[in-house]
Amino acid sequence: MLKGRKVSGRGETVGANYAFGPLEDDIIIKHRLLTRTTTTRGEPPLKKLQKKFTSFVVEIEKDEDNYNDCLRLSKAFLQELSTFEIPLLKSKAVIDSNRREKENFNELMVEINSQISHAQSDIEDLKKQLEASKIERQHKEECEAIRKLIALQPPRAETQKIIQDLEKEIAALEAENTAGSRLLELRKKQFALLLHVVDELQNNIEEDQKNLMEEMRMATEEQKNGMDDASGGSEAMAVD
């Protein structure tokens, strides 16, 4: 039995408490449906039927001439049995309907699961197609970017003319470089010759300076010797 308690002032419902477990509840409900013992007022239908049948059997077993009572009790029992049978037939119809609904539901579930599987397969295929489309679009964008870059470049004839002009300029620069290299080599040789001449001149100047110094030294010595000889002769003449 489900019981809920509402907290005053807040309107919050406290968790339900079960007197029986879910499995026991199912067993009890099934038993009540089969025995029709669930009722809102008066005695359960099965108990009433049992009383009618018991009264009928007790009246039959009497040895008295009670045909009318037996007939009355039998009609009451049959009426009660019919009353008890109608809900059973209704329950059977409901059960059959529920079974058909369950079968339809199972078939629908199988169909839905199949559709879900197909949808998932379609989704995977669409994902692959999307990835392929992304790659193809990326390639197209790259090709378009390359095409734009190529379109920005000058025509091939103009490019070839520029290349030829550059080749001519490079050849002229190479020729100028060769001439410059030869001139530089010539200037190196001339400079080396000049250095050699300067060295020889410097050596000659140094040699001339040495000779001049030597001549000056010899002249000085000769003059000194002459002076010494002159003073020696004067002294000799005085002594005489």
Confirm if 13 and 6 have CB atoms less than 8 A apart: yes
Model confidence pLDDT, tens digit, residues 175-209? 989 988 888 888 888 888 888 888 888 888 888 88
Please state the domain extents for the chain: 22-149, 168-220
Rounded Cα–Cα distance for residues 102 and 85 (Å): 25
Query: Tokens at residue 204, please?
Result: 């000659």
Rounded Cα–Cα distance for residues 218 and 214 (Å): 6
Using the CB atoms, write b or e for 166-175: b if 16+ within 10 Å.
Answer: eeeeeeeeee
Is a pLDDT exceeding 70 seen at residue 150? yes
Model confidence pLDDT, tens digit, residues 101-123? 999 999 999 999 999 999 999 99
Confidence band for 74, pLDDT divided at 50, 70 and 90: confident
Residue whose C-alpha is closest to residue 84's, from 28, 26, 37:
37
Confidence band for 154, pLDDT divided at 50, 70 and 90: confident
Q: What is the pLDDT of residue 21?
A: 67
Backbone angles phi, psi at 15, to 5 degrees: -55, 145
Rounded Cα–Cα distance for residues 73 and 76 (Å): 5
pTM strictly above 0.95:
no
Rounded Cα–Cα distance for residues 119 and 164 (Å): 65
